[in-house]
Amino acid sequence: MSPGSSPKRICIAGAGAIGCTLAARLGLAGHAVSVLARGATLQVLRRDGVCLTDREGDHQVPVRAGDATELGPQDILFTCTKAHDLPAMAPGLAPLITPDTVIVPALNGVPWWYFHGEGGRFANAPVKSVDPDGVLAASLPLAQVLGSVVFITAESDAPGKVRAPNPHLIMLGELDKPSSERLQDLCGVLAGAGIEARPLERIRDKLWTKIIANISTNPLSVVSGATLEEIYRPGELQDTVIAIMRETLLVAASYGARVEIDPLSFLELGAAMGPVRTSMLQDLDHGRRLELAAIGDAVLELAARFDIPMPVTRKVIALARFRGRQAAATPRPQEPS
């Protein structure tokens, strides 16, 4: 922790790979870290804490674990669940949130808050694909939300055990103004925990960069079984990837986003990541629900507002949904708890 700073009460809602990485790094920095958990994960966290292996070595970090009522009010709340799981969780987060709690959703795809404070022709409109019943808007006060774009590569093979071999980076921004004291404070908290934190004046620009990366790789990986290296390098899949990128760039431009990276640079950077399996492909392997609503359907929803057809993207998402339903219906050996 930096000199003169005080420890924060920080809760991580979602004990997956990203959530546990944040919990460990923030705990190592001296903050009072809690993790919202249940079942076998709750027991492991209470007994062993979080075990993180990253570029600085192996760490075993004790954390407080429990339900929202037990953990109580927090200064900072990170939500690190899958986007489709958040509506069921959000109403139960109320005991963690005070009028001063900063809420940071760490989600893939288009967030439910996209149009809040955006000021365009769709100002404050909902994104039905990710918040169909308005539960998130009602449960998580938008005035307390900071936008985030998370670039942390982490894998977890067992509850509370995480490998995160690459540098940790989070980009953050206010939804309705260029900057704020709380934004700068949060960046300082993360930087003190060994996580590079960049405050952005236009968070939606960088959000579209990640949306393009996600939508051009995750559904296609489900259809093809390909790694990032195989998707991005010259070969049978590259034309499809480029077509999805171009369709999504048109949507981003329609909403005034400034995307700094071009498709060819995307291909070079993606291929350099090597034989990485996307999170959606990993979910397919385990028969878990795919994050197609936030990563795919929400982009199609935004495209429809401007009558942008996105034919290639739409077909790949449909094929991925079919594969996901097949996988979910296939009996699997029970995994040890």
* pLDDT at 262 > cutoff 90: no
Average pLDDT of the chain? Answer: 92
40/43 Cα distance (integer angstroms) = 5
- Which of these three, 158, 185, 201, is where a domain ends? 201
Contact 189, 27 (CB under 8 A): no
* pLDDT at 287 > cutoff 90: no
Tell me what pLDDT residue 5 has. Answer: 64
Both 250 and 174 in one domain: the answer is no
- Has this prediction a pTM greater than 0.95? no
Both 124 and 272 in one domain: the answer is no
Residues 100-131, buried b or exposed e (16+ Cβ, 10 A)? ebbbbbbbbbbbbbbbbebeeeeeeebbebbb
For the ranges 117-121, 173-177, 256-260, the one whose mean pLDDT is highest? 173-177
Residue 127 resides in a domain: yes
Q: Dihedral sign, CA of 277, 278, 279, 285? A: negative
- The mean pLDDT of 266-285, rounded to a whole number, is 86
Query: Smallest Cα–Cα separation from 6: which of 63, 75, 98?
Result: 75
In the chain, the number of structural domains is 2
39/325 Cα distance (integer angstroms) = 26
Residue from 128, 161, 210, 315 carrying the catalytic annotation: 210
Both 195 and 236 in one domain: the answer is no
Residue 210 appears among annotated catalytic residues: yes
Torsion, CA 81, CA 120, CA 184, CA 141, rounded to 10: -50
Both 126 and 197 in one domain: the answer is yes
* pLDDT at 336 > cutoff 50: no
- Which of these three, 180, 201, 222, is where a domain ends? 201
Tell me what pLDDT residue 154 has. Answer: 83
